[in-house]
Amino acid sequence: MSGTSDYDKLVLQLKYNGQLIVVDCLSCDNSISDLKGELFKITGVLPINQKILGLRTINNTPVSDFTTLSCLVLKPGMKLMLIGSTQEDILKVNNTEDTSDVVDDFEFKEEDTQLHSVPENIKKVTRRCEAYRPRKLSEFRDGKKLLVLDLDYTIFDHLTPAESAHQLARPYLMEFLTRAYVHY
């Protein structure tokens, strides 16, 4: 018997640009590269520009283009996410010549730094202060000071492309939090 039977076929669901894409022409013997080829046919996103989120191997090794689909943890009904831009969209961005909105921020002007006194900003801050209702997440610890941390860049880097929240954590975050807990 040649070819693959319907039993060997995988049905993969991916979200791309808010749309559900179904790839049902691959078997367990195909690779991530084959999947990317099929996704290129459907979306027009070149395989080199594709990032598929939600892929995990059975033995937790890194996923590469050569990883076979049989090595992945794929549950029925599981939805993966495809991120990437078509070549046409990339060329549109690269060919944009309108630079009229570029601000020369090397020359500081006093009026540019007086944002705290703009009436619109004062109204926004006042409205948010009135609407905000703080919640106590845990009791204060006797003899310890309060430590307030900014989430972006302090706890995690929200601009880094990552497949899991753990990968977004800043370097040495856990060591920092462990040491800070002693004093705060």
Answer yes or no: pTM beyond 0.95.
no
Parse the chain into domains and list their residue ranges.
9-87, 141-183
Please determine, for residue 5, whether its predicted confidence score (pLDDT) is greater than 70.
no
> In the prediction, which pLDDT does 83 show?
93
d(CA 184, CA 161) in angstroms, rounded, equals 31
Coil/strand/helix, residue 46: coil
Q: What is the pLDDT of residues 78-137, one digit of tens each?
A: 999 999 999 888 888 877 666 566 666 676 666 666 777 889 999 999 999 999 998 888
Q: What is the DSSP letter of 61?
A: P
Residue with tokens 């690269």: 94
- Asked whether 29 and 43 are in contact (CB, 8 A), the reply is no
- CATH topology classification for 9-87: Ubiquitin-like (UB roll) (3.10.20)
